[in-house]
Structure 1
Protein backbone atom coordinates (compact mmCIF):
# COMPACT_ATOMS: atom_id res chain seq x y z
CA UNK A 1 0.00 0.00 0.00
CA UNK A 2 1.29 3.44 -0.93
CA UNK A 3 0.93 6.24 1.61
CA UNK A 4 1.16 9.99 1.69
CA UNK A 5 2.53 11.21 5.02
CA UNK A 6 2.25 14.40 7.01
CA UNK A 7 4.36 14.65 10.16
CA UNK A 8 4.00 17.03 13.08
CA UNK A 9 1.55 19.41 11.46
CA UNK A 10 1.50 22.17 14.06
CA UNK A 11 -1.89 23.74 14.76
CA UNK A 12 -2.55 26.46 17.32
CA UNK A 13 -6.15 26.23 18.52
CA UNK A 14 -8.51 26.38 21.47
CA UNK A 15 -8.55 22.86 22.90
CA UNK A 16 -9.37 21.51 26.34
CA UNK A 17 -11.98 20.80 28.97
CA UNK A 18 -10.97 23.33 31.61
CA UNK A 19 -12.26 26.90 31.62
CA UNK A 20 -8.74 28.32 31.54
CA UNK A 21 -7.97 26.22 28.43
CA UNK A 22 -10.97 27.72 26.69
CA UNK A 23 -9.37 31.16 26.99
CA UNK A 24 -6.02 30.36 25.34
CA UNK A 25 -4.52 28.79 22.23
CA UNK A 26 -2.58 25.55 22.62
CA UNK A 27 -0.50 23.53 20.20
CA UNK A 28 -1.59 20.26 18.65
CA UNK A 29 0.76 18.13 16.55
CA UNK A 30 -0.81 15.88 13.91
CA UNK A 31 0.71 12.91 12.11
CA UNK A 32 -1.21 11.40 9.20
CA UNK A 33 -0.65 8.28 7.12
CA UNK A 34 -3.03 8.33 4.15
CA UNK A 35 -3.49 5.45 1.74
CA UNK A 36 -2.99 6.73 -1.79
CA UNK A 37 -1.95 5.02 -5.00
CA UNK A 38 1.10 7.06 -6.02
CA UNK A 39 1.80 5.19 -9.28
CA UNK A 40 -0.13 7.51 -11.58
CA UNK A 41 1.42 10.63 -10.05
CA UNK A 42 4.90 9.11 -10.29
CA UNK A 43 4.43 7.95 -13.90
CA UNK A 44 2.98 11.26 -15.08
CA UNK A 45 5.05 13.51 -12.80
CA UNK A 46 1.83 15.49 -12.54
CA UNK A 47 0.50 17.33 -9.51
CA UNK A 48 -3.08 16.65 -10.65
CA UNK A 49 -2.59 12.94 -9.90
CA UNK A 50 -1.08 13.41 -6.46
CA UNK A 51 -2.66 13.80 -3.05
CA UNK A 52 -1.53 17.33 -2.19
CA UNK A 53 -0.21 17.36 1.36
CA UNK A 54 -0.30 21.19 1.39
CA UNK A 55 -4.00 21.26 0.50
CA UNK A 56 -4.75 18.58 3.11
CA UNK A 57 -2.71 20.45 5.74
CA UNK A 58 -4.45 23.75 5.03
CA UNK A 59 -7.90 22.15 5.17
CA UNK A 60 -7.19 20.41 8.48
CA UNK A 61 -5.83 23.60 10.01
CA UNK A 62 -9.02 25.44 9.01
CA UNK A 63 -11.19 22.60 10.33
CA UNK A 64 -9.52 22.37 13.72
CA UNK A 65 -9.36 26.13 14.31
CA UNK A 66 -12.92 27.03 13.26
CA UNK A 67 -14.37 26.47 16.75
CA UNK A 68 -13.21 25.42 20.22
CA UNK A 69 -12.95 21.66 20.79
CA UNK A 70 -12.71 19.93 24.15
CA UNK A 71 -11.13 16.56 23.35
CA UNK A 72 -8.24 15.43 21.18
CA UNK A 73 -10.32 12.32 20.49
CA UNK A 74 -12.81 14.61 18.75
CA UNK A 75 -10.00 16.18 16.74
CA UNK A 76 -8.79 12.76 15.57
CA UNK A 77 -12.28 11.71 14.42
CA UNK A 78 -12.86 15.04 12.67
CA UNK A 79 -9.55 14.74 10.83
CA UNK A 80 -10.19 11.15 9.73
CA UNK A 81 -13.70 11.96 8.51
CA UNK A 82 -12.52 15.03 6.62
CA UNK A 83 -9.61 13.31 4.89
CA UNK A 84 -11.68 10.33 3.83
CA UNK A 85 -14.72 12.27 2.65
CA UNK A 86 -13.16 15.38 1.11
CA UNK A 87 -10.00 13.85 -0.37
CA UNK A 88 -11.31 10.38 -1.24
CA UNK A 89 -8.69 8.64 0.89
CA UNK A 90 -9.76 5.02 1.58
CA UNK A 91 -7.71 4.57 4.79
CA UNK A 92 -6.09 6.96 7.24
CA UNK A 93 -4.12 6.75 10.45
CA UNK A 94 -4.29 9.92 12.55
CA UNK A 95 -2.18 10.72 15.59
CA UNK A 96 -2.99 13.84 17.62
CA UNK A 97 -0.48 14.93 20.26
CA UNK A 98 -0.97 17.68 22.83
CA UNK A 99 2.43 18.82 24.14
CA UNK A 100 2.53 20.08 27.71
CA UNK A 101 -0.90 18.78 28.69
CA UNK A 102 0.59 16.73 31.51
CA UNK A 103 3.49 18.46 33.26
CA UNK A 104 5.51 15.26 33.67
CA UNK A 105 5.07 14.12 30.05
CA UNK A 106 6.46 15.67 26.89
CA UNK A 107 3.07 15.14 25.22
CA UNK A 108 -0.11 13.09 25.42
CA UNK A 109 -2.14 11.90 22.50
CA UNK A 110 -4.45 9.54 20.68
CA UNK A 111 -4.06 7.51 17.51
CA UNK A 112 -6.87 6.11 15.37
CA UNK A 113 -7.17 4.24 12.07
CA UNK A 114 -10.25 4.51 9.88
CA UNK A 115 -11.25 3.00 6.56
CA UNK A 116 -9.90 0.04 4.61
CA UNK A 117 -6.44 -0.36 3.18
Structure 2
Protein backbone atom coordinates (compact mmCIF):
# COMPACT_ATOMS: atom_id res chain seq x y z
CA UNK A 1 0.00 0.00 0.00
CA UNK A 2 1.31 3.41 -0.99
CA UNK A 3 1.04 6.31 1.41
CA UNK A 4 1.35 10.07 1.23
CA UNK A 5 2.84 11.54 4.40
CA UNK A 6 2.67 14.92 6.07
CA UNK A 7 4.89 15.27 9.11
CA UNK A 8 4.58 17.86 11.86
CA UNK A 9 2.26 20.27 10.10
CA UNK A 10 2.37 23.21 12.51
CA UNK A 11 -0.99 24.87 13.05
CA UNK A 12 -1.38 27.85 15.37
CA UNK A 13 -4.93 27.96 16.70
CA UNK A 14 -7.17 28.43 19.72
CA UNK A 15 -7.31 25.02 21.41
CA UNK A 16 -8.10 23.95 24.94
CA UNK A 17 -10.68 23.53 27.66
CA UNK A 18 -9.46 26.15 30.12
CA UNK A 19 -10.62 29.76 29.92
CA UNK A 20 -7.04 31.04 29.66
CA UNK A 21 -6.46 28.72 26.68
CA UNK A 22 -9.45 30.21 24.91
CA UNK A 23 -7.73 33.61 25.00
CA UNK A 24 -4.45 32.59 23.33
CA UNK A 25 -3.10 30.80 20.28
CA UNK A 26 -1.21 27.54 20.73
CA UNK A 27 0.62 25.28 18.31
CA UNK A 28 -0.53 21.85 17.28
CA UNK A 29 1.63 19.43 15.31
CA UNK A 30 -0.26 17.21 12.88
CA UNK A 31 1.10 14.01 11.32
CA UNK A 32 -0.83 12.23 8.58
CA UNK A 33 -0.42 8.95 6.77
CA UNK A 34 -2.84 8.72 3.86
CA UNK A 35 -3.38 5.65 1.72
CA UNK A 36 -3.02 6.63 -1.92
CA UNK A 37 -2.09 4.73 -5.06
CA UNK A 38 0.98 6.61 -6.28
CA UNK A 39 1.64 4.29 -9.23
CA UNK A 40 -0.21 6.32 -11.89
CA UNK A 41 1.31 9.61 -10.83
CA UNK A 42 4.78 8.05 -10.74
CA UNK A 43 4.44 6.20 -14.04
CA UNK A 44 3.27 9.32 -15.89
CA UNK A 45 5.10 11.94 -13.80
CA UNK A 46 1.65 13.53 -13.58
CA UNK A 47 0.76 15.90 -10.75
CA UNK A 48 -2.96 15.57 -11.56
CA UNK A 49 -2.88 11.92 -10.43
CA UNK A 50 -1.04 12.65 -7.19
CA UNK A 51 -2.46 13.50 -3.79
CA UNK A 52 -1.19 17.04 -3.29
CA UNK A 53 0.23 17.34 0.21
CA UNK A 54 0.31 21.15 -0.07
CA UNK A 55 -3.42 21.30 -0.85
CA UNK A 56 -4.20 18.88 2.00
CA UNK A 57 -2.00 20.87 4.41
CA UNK A 58 -3.63 24.18 3.47
CA UNK A 59 -7.14 22.74 3.79
CA UNK A 60 -6.48 21.23 7.21
CA UNK A 61 -4.89 24.45 8.48
CA UNK A 62 -7.96 26.40 7.38
CA UNK A 63 -10.29 23.83 8.95
CA UNK A 64 -8.50 23.77 12.31
CA UNK A 65 -8.23 27.55 12.57
CA UNK A 66 -11.75 28.54 11.50
CA UNK A 67 -13.13 28.39 15.06
CA UNK A 68 -11.94 27.58 18.59
CA UNK A 69 -11.83 23.86 19.45
CA UNK A 70 -11.57 22.39 22.93
CA UNK A 71 -10.18 18.89 22.33
CA UNK A 72 -7.35 17.53 20.24
CA UNK A 73 -9.53 14.44 19.81
CA UNK A 74 -11.95 16.67 17.89
CA UNK A 75 -9.11 18.01 15.75
CA UNK A 76 -8.00 14.47 14.87
CA UNK A 77 -11.51 13.43 13.85
CA UNK A 78 -12.07 16.61 11.84
CA UNK A 79 -8.82 16.00 9.95
CA UNK A 80 -9.68 12.37 9.22
CA UNK A 81 -13.18 13.25 8.03
CA UNK A 82 -11.90 16.05 5.81
CA UNK A 83 -9.16 13.99 4.16
CA UNK A 84 -11.46 11.06 3.49
CA UNK A 85 -14.46 13.11 2.32
CA UNK A 86 -12.80 15.89 0.35
CA UNK A 87 -9.76 14.08 -1.05
CA UNK A 88 -11.22 10.58 -1.45
CA UNK A 89 -8.56 8.96 0.70
CA UNK A 90 -9.69 5.45 1.71
CA UNK A 91 -7.61 5.23 4.92
CA UNK A 92 -5.87 7.77 7.10
CA UNK A 93 -3.86 7.82 10.30
CA UNK A 94 -3.86 11.18 12.09
CA UNK A 95 -1.67 12.12 15.03
CA UNK A 96 -2.29 15.44 16.81
CA UNK A 97 0.35 16.59 19.29
CA UNK A 98 0.02 19.56 21.64
CA UNK A 99 3.47 20.74 22.75
CA UNK A 100 3.74 22.22 26.23
CA UNK A 101 0.29 21.10 27.41
CA UNK A 102 1.78 19.18 30.32
CA UNK A 103 4.83 20.84 31.89
CA UNK A 104 6.71 17.59 32.46
CA UNK A 105 6.15 16.31 28.88
CA UNK A 106 7.49 17.65 25.62
CA UNK A 107 4.05 17.11 24.08
CA UNK A 108 0.84 15.15 24.54
CA UNK A 109 -1.39 13.86 21.81
CA UNK A 110 -3.82 11.45 20.25
CA UNK A 111 -3.66 9.18 17.24
CA UNK A 112 -6.57 7.76 15.27
CA UNK A 113 -7.00 5.58 12.19
CA UNK A 114 -10.07 5.76 10.01
CA UNK A 115 -11.16 3.92 6.86
CA UNK A 116 -9.93 0.74 5.26
CA UNK A 117 -6.68 -0.22 3.57
* TM-score normalized by the length of structure 1: 1.00
Aligned positions, number: 117
Q: CA deviation at 1:82?
A: 0.1
Pair 1:40-2:40 in alignment: yes
Counterparts of 1:43 and 1:49, CA distance in 2: 10
Counterparts of 1:66 and 1:97, CA distance in 2: 19
Residues 1-117 of structure 1 mapped to structure 2, 5 A cutoff: 1-117=1-117
Counterparts of 1:101 and 1:53, CA distance in 2: 27
Q: CA deviation at 1:113?
A: 0.1
Counterparts of 2:47 and 2:70, CA distance in 1: 36
Any gaps of 5 or more consecutive residues in structure 2?
none
Counterparts of 2:63 and 2:16, CA distance in 1: 16
Counterparts of 2:41 and 2:4, CA distance in 1: 12
Counterparts of 1:96 and 1:62, CA distance in 2: 16
Counterparts of 1:3 and 1:86, CA distance in 2: 17
List, as ranges, runs of 4+ consecutive aligned residues in structure 1 with deviation greater than 2 Å. none
Counterparts of 1:102 and 1:35, CA distance in 2: 32
